[in-house]
């Protein structure tokens, strides 16, 4: 079977339809490839967004757990009256209760004016202002154990947070105070934290 130029007239429409079909097929293949590439890009973008959303969810859940933990600690400090205003009247009343318990033969104390507290080494306290109300004490003691019992009772029974700096023990003058063997000179202070945004 042979073709001549005369036969082209007979098959021109079929040939044109075949070429048109091939062109459309090539176009559809290219279009499908483009759509597939765009779909892959969209899928990758969606996966990145999903991973970002998962990370944000995990961070939010972790923050919520941390907040619950910190909230408990914060509430404990509020209950203990460490967070808030100076509790000078409570401290005085608490020290007088300790005096009535006769933990030591006698003690005298002085609470100084509240001042800003700067820890060493420096500490970032965030939104809280740190303060201390310095206190000095003179305690008469029958023995060293009374000093430890006194500060243990102070810590356990009194609201607030007392920071003990130091205590110096010396023998008491037995001619002035019968039975008193030692005297302690102690310094420290009542520590408070106040939220700078609180009224």
Distances (CA, A) of 35 to 26, 41, 64: 14, 10, 42
Q: Is the pTM higher than 0.85?
A: no
The whole-number average pLDDT for the span 55-62 is 86
Q: For position 98, what pLDDT does the model report?
A: 94
Q: For position 2, what pLDDT does the model report?
A: 65
Residue 184 pLDDT exceeds 90: yes
Indicate the range of 67-71, 101-105, 149-153 predicted with least confidence.
67-71
**Exposed e or buried b for every residue in 68-77, given b needs 16+ CB within 10 A?**
eeeeeeeeee
Instruction: Please report the DSSP string for 81-130 in residue order.
Output: T-BSS--HHHHHHHHHHHHHTTSSSEEEEEEPPPEE---SS----TTEEE
CB atoms within 10 A of CB 136: 15
Of residues 112, 123, 128, the one with CA closest to residue 70? 128
Q: Chain centroid to CA 34: how far?
A: 51
Fold of the domain spanning 88-195: Alpha-Beta Plaits (3.30.70)
Distances (CA, A) of 124 to 35, 99, 108, 185: 55, 37, 35, 32
**Percentage above 70 pLDDT, the chain:** 90
User: For the chain, which residues make up each domain, given as ranges?
Assistant: 9-79, 88-195
Q: For position 47, what pLDDT does the model report?
A: 92
The whole-number average pLDDT for the span 74-90 is 86
The whole-number average pLDDT for the span 71-91 is 86
Q: For position 80, what pLDDT does the model report?
A: 86
H/E run at residue 167: strand 161-171
């Amino acid at each position: 079977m042979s073709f001549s130029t005369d036969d082209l007239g007979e098959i021109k429409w079929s040939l044109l339809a075949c070429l048109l079909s091939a062109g459309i097929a090539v176009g559809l293949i290219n279009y499908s490839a483009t759509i597939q590439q765009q779909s892959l890009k969209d899928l990758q973008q969606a996966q990145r967004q999903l991973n970002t959303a998962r990370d944000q969810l995990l961070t939010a859940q972790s923050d919520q757990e941390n907040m619950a933990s910190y909230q408990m600690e914060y509430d404990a400090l509020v209950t203990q009256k460490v967070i808030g205003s100076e509790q000078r009247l409570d401290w005085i009343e608490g020290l007088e209760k300790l005096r009535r318990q006769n933990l030591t033969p006698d003690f005298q104390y002085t609470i100084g004016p509240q001042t800003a507290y700067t820890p060493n080494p420096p500490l970032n306290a965030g939104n809280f202002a740190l303060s201390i109300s310095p206190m000095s004490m003179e305690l008469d003691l029958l023995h060293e154990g009374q000093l430890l019992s006194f500060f243990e009772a102070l810590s356990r029974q009194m609201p607030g947070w007392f920071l003990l700096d130091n205590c110096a023990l010396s023998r008491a003058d037995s001619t002035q105070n019968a039975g008193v063997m030692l005297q302690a000179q102690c310094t420290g202070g009542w520590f408070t934290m106040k939220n700078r945004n609180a009224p």
